[in-house]
Amino acid sequence: MARTLAACYPLRMRRVVAVAVVALSLSCSSTKTTTPPDPFQGPLQLAKVTDLNPDPHVVEVNLEATYAEWEISPGQSVHAMTYNGSVPGPLIEAHVGDTLIVHFTNHLTEPTTIHWHGVRVPAAMDGSPMAQAPVQPGGSFAYQFTLTDAGTFWYHPHADEPVQMEHGMYGAIVVRGDSEPVMDAEGVVMLDDLTLGPDGQIASPAGAIEDHTGREGAVSLLNGRMGVAIPIRSGQRQRWRLVNAGSARFYRLAIPGVTFTVLGTDGGFLAQPYDTGELFMVPGDRLDVVVTATGAPGSSATLQNLPYDRGHGGGSPTTMDLATLTYDGESMNGAAIPASLGRTIDPISTAGATTRTIIFDEVINPDTGDTTFTINGKSYPDVPTFDAHVGRTEVWDVQNKSGMDHPFHLHGFFFQVIGASGAPLSWEDSIQLKAKSTLRIAFTPDDRQGMWMYHCHILEHVKSGMMADFRLTK
């Protein structure tokens, strides 16, 4: 089940911030006092946004939606929609308790917004259709909110998602806690893919079949580049903050001979790390992992996406190579991985909870082949809105009656999966909803009243109506 540089000394200055966060507090110690290097150098290193505010507790930045050329490999570029001219968009780095102010300007010829995926923002800052009017061409909007949770998050539009996100509109956000385990190197890994047309440019939407299964491109990208090499040293431990920014791709990540250590998921750290040979990520998902390098100096290894069938022709039928790990330099003794991450995650109490049934399904027109995706029998924006109440726990039985997996994403709140056998207790906002199955989740809304969205995170399914809203009131 799913889920730059974290250090005890953050970028601007070390400080201790006391923040009350219900069921989501964390602390851990480390004797390291240096900032580990980013292993993703050159074209793999994410651009960084400039903090315009001298206040150490405020991160104030400019983001511009603009057209640009996106170099996906040396000498090969595609026409793109970008944030600040780069794909991925610039990395936003902050600390728990900071205020983030984003002055956003839309230089596109179509409306757009920014959704802060996984960040617990006020409803008016969420960027979804019922929460915010789209920013028109030439218009601007100021997003402002306090960052209450440490973790890896990302930002992307909630307007014409299959086109704008496919053309490069996404970026990462790293929010650091006061003290986190420090590995030998650490960076953000944004996974994506592209479908290119005969002209070498990003292909236009392909019609009914693609609308049904979602776009899975043949060109695999890591931090916006294809065919990449990641330098690593034998014995080194690299911390990767993984983000699945793809339109519809489900990832089963593996590196033959390498074990991943999972530190955290969507909602930040787990209580204790665990080891695994594979990482599973649905669109929208994040994982915080340590890669322990086991190869000999001079050797190489391959980051792979293993086969997965998500139903109705979607998924990877064969193994895909995503990147090459090249073992440079001499062997080293890697940093120690802590046995505990200093976080307590208590099971959410469902006593007195409001229980609901949320049904994901699809209707295929036998004459045209077009698919309408539905929630509780209706397609957005006609799905009935219900009221949830501040402080009253919600328990949702999310049923998938369709023949394919869907990635379920909840805006604004982290949830727990109830009854997940063998899985470590975690906080999530994006998770796999298997075909013909039911997933029970629970969350307790805090006092951020307004309209909140939940939906499938396959972008073509968003376009085809598989999303809905609920209203949070007192």
Number of domains observed in the structure of the chain: 1
At residue 252, the pLDDT reads 98
Residue 30 clears pLDDT 50, i.e. is over it = no
Q: Quote the pTM value.
A: 0.92
Report the share of the chain in percent with pLDDT over 90. 86
At residue 364, the pLDDT reads 85
Residue 334 binned pLDDT confidence (cut-offs 50, 70, 90):
very high
Q: Across the chain, which distance is largest between two alpha carbons, in Å?
A: 66
Residue 6 binned pLDDT confidence (cut-offs 50, 70, 90):
very low
Q: How far apart are CA 129 and CA 401, in angstroms?
A: 26
In a domain, 250, yes or no: no
CA within 13 Å, CB half, 109? 2
In a domain, 255, yes or no: no
At residue 316, the pLDDT reads 87
Rg from Cα positions in the chain: 21
Which range, of 12-26, 71-85, 142-156, 442-456, averages the lowest pLDDT? 12-26
3-state secondary structure of 213: helix
Instruction: Say if residues 118 and 266 touch (Cβ distance below 8 Å).
Output: yes
Residue 417 binned pLDDT confidence (cut-offs 50, 70, 90):
very high
In a domain, 374, yes or no: yes
Residue 3 binned pLDDT confidence (cut-offs 50, 70, 90):
very low
CATH at residue 448:
2.60.40.420
- Kindly report whether the peptide bond that precedes residue 366 is cis, defined as omega within 30 degrees of 0: no
Instruction: Say if residues 34 and 5 touch (Cβ distance below 8 Å).
Output: no
Instruction: Say if residues 238 and 184 touch (Cβ distance below 8 Å).
Output: yes
Instruction: Return the closest-CA partner of residue 267 out of 380, 413, 368, 387.
Output: 413
3-state secondary structure of 338: coil
Residue 466 clears pLDDT 90, i.e. is over it = yes
Residue 7 clears pLDDT 50, i.e. is over it = no
Residue 341 binned pLDDT confidence (cut-offs 50, 70, 90):
very high
Q: Would you give the distance in Å from CA 284 to the centre of its chain?
A: 4
Instruction: Say if residues 190 and 225 touch (Cβ distance below 8 Å).
Output: no
State pLDDT tens for residues 278-310.
999 999 999 999 999 999 999 999 999 999 999
State pLDDT tens for residues 92-135.
999 999 999 999 999 999 999 999 999 999 999 999 999 999 99
Residue 445 binned pLDDT confidence (cut-offs 50, 70, 90):
very high
What is the domain extent for residue 377?
Answer: 354-473
Mean pLDDT of 372-380: 96
State pLDDT tens for residues 311-327.
988 998 999 999 999 99
Q: Which residue has the higher pLDDT, 367 or 358?
A: 358
At residue 35, the pLDDT reads 61
In a domain, 306, yes or no: no
Q: How far apart are CA 344 and CA 346, in angstroms?
A: 6
3-state secondary structure of 315: strand
Instruction: Return the closest-CA partner of residue 320 out of 215, 261, 249, 244.
Output: 249
In a domain, 469, yes or no: yes
Mean pLDDT of 144-164: 98
Instruction: Say if residues 187 and 39 touch (Cβ distance below 8 Å).
Output: yes
In a domain, 358, yes or no: yes
Parallel, antiparallel or unpaired: strands 308-311 and 314-316: antiparallel
Mean pLDDT of 419-429: 88
Q: How far apart are CA 163 and CA 159, in angstroms?
A: 9
Going by the DSSP 8-state scheme, the letter that residue 51 receives in this structure is P
Mean pLDDT of 148-164: 97
In a domain, 398, yes or no: yes
Instruction: Say if residues 431 and 287 touch (Cβ distance below 8 Å).
Output: no
At residue 319, the pLDDT reads 96
Mean pLDDT of 401-420: 96
State pLDDT tens for residues 224-245.
999 999 999 999 999 999 999 9
Structure tokens at 370: 């077009």
Residue 190 clears pLDDT 50, i.e. is over it = yes
In a domain, 467, yes or no: yes
At residue 11, the pLDDT reads 36
